[in-house]
Amino acid sequence: MPGPINETARAKINLFLHAGERRADGYHNLQSLAVFSDFGDGLVFEEAEALSLSVDGLFSGALASEPDNLVLRAARALAAETKRSARAHVKLTKNLPVASGLGGGSADAAATLRGLPELWKVQLSDERRRAVAAGLGSDVPVCVASVSAWMEGRGERVTPVSVPALHMVLVNPGVAVATRDVFARLESRRGTAMRLPSRFLDSSALVEFLKNAANDLEQPAIAMAPAINEALVTLAACGAHLARMSGSGATCFGLFENAGAAEMAARAIAETHARWWVKACRAQ
């Protein structure tokens, strides 16, 4: 019997996110530059007679009422694609806030599409894996490789890009905002005409590029949860070169000069906002 397979579902951070007009299928065309942190949820895959999921970790309680976790949906979709029975036990350690703009559920699903083929010893081409991922959600394809990428379409068109290592602090002010509700409030759209530079010489060049971009979902999310703005103000006050919301929120990030500056800011924020989730990390 093969031993357990371990995967990390790394947090996805949208450095910017521009929206176009709503499409006929209900989605919006998007442009975004996404990077991935050096930490995330943990998943362990083991052989079993049936498909099951157990969840622990700091944010496991937020999933208690979820009837059909994306991990299970990914497992069933993968089984259907590979024409086999969906048999495995998956243990999910939920370290990332739920519904937080960090792609946590999508990253969990993507990790499942990486881990189960290894457990089941089935061959799956990158093209087939991406097709399964696209059917699970807009953020799942970019999370499969979990490398920095330019996202277009509704998020499913992914082009890997090279970005310098970034030292950042992630802050979730303890509020959840539903993606659908944020998009429903969206009024100002920057469109999808942003052009990606051929390269970024260093993190300073990337920050300058990002200053000419934005997250179109930030203002509607703040209207729903003003604590998001408080998180942005707090990050800026702690010396962030750039503070912005990730995805549809409510998690915000601040970019800092180095790891020491990020760690110092994270400690200061955690001390003054005990109910917030705060994490210093490296992303690329």
Q: Where are the domains of the chain?
A: 5-160, 166-283
> Quick one: average pLDDT of 195-199?
83
Give pLDDT tens digits for 161-180.
Answer: 999 999 999 999 999 899 99
> Quick one: average pLDDT of 148-166?
94
Residue 2: per-residue pLDDT: 67
Concerning whether 25 is annotated as a catalytic residue, the answer is no
**Burial of 185 per CB tally in 10 Å (0-12, 13-18, 19+):** middle
pTM to 2 decimal places: 0.95
Alpha-carbon distance of 216 to 79, in angstroms, equals 37
Active site residue: 41, 108, 139, 216, which one?
139
**Angle, to 10 degrees, between the axis of helix 104-120 and the axis of helix 70-82?**
40
Asked if the model's pLDDT at residue 65 lies above 70, the reply is no
- The hierarchical CATH code for the domain 5-160 is 3.30.230.10
Indicate the average pLDDT of the chain.
95
CATH ID of 166-283, from 3.40.50.150, 3.40.50.1240, 3.40.190.10, 3.30.70.890: 3.30.70.890
Concerning whether 139 is annotated as a catalytic residue, the answer is yes
Asked if the model's pLDDT at residue 131 lies above 70, the reply is yes
Alpha-carbon distance of 106 to 246, in angstroms, equals 14
> Quick one: average pLDDT of 228-246?
98
Residue 200: per-residue pLDDT: 87
> Quick one: average pLDDT of 97-106?
93
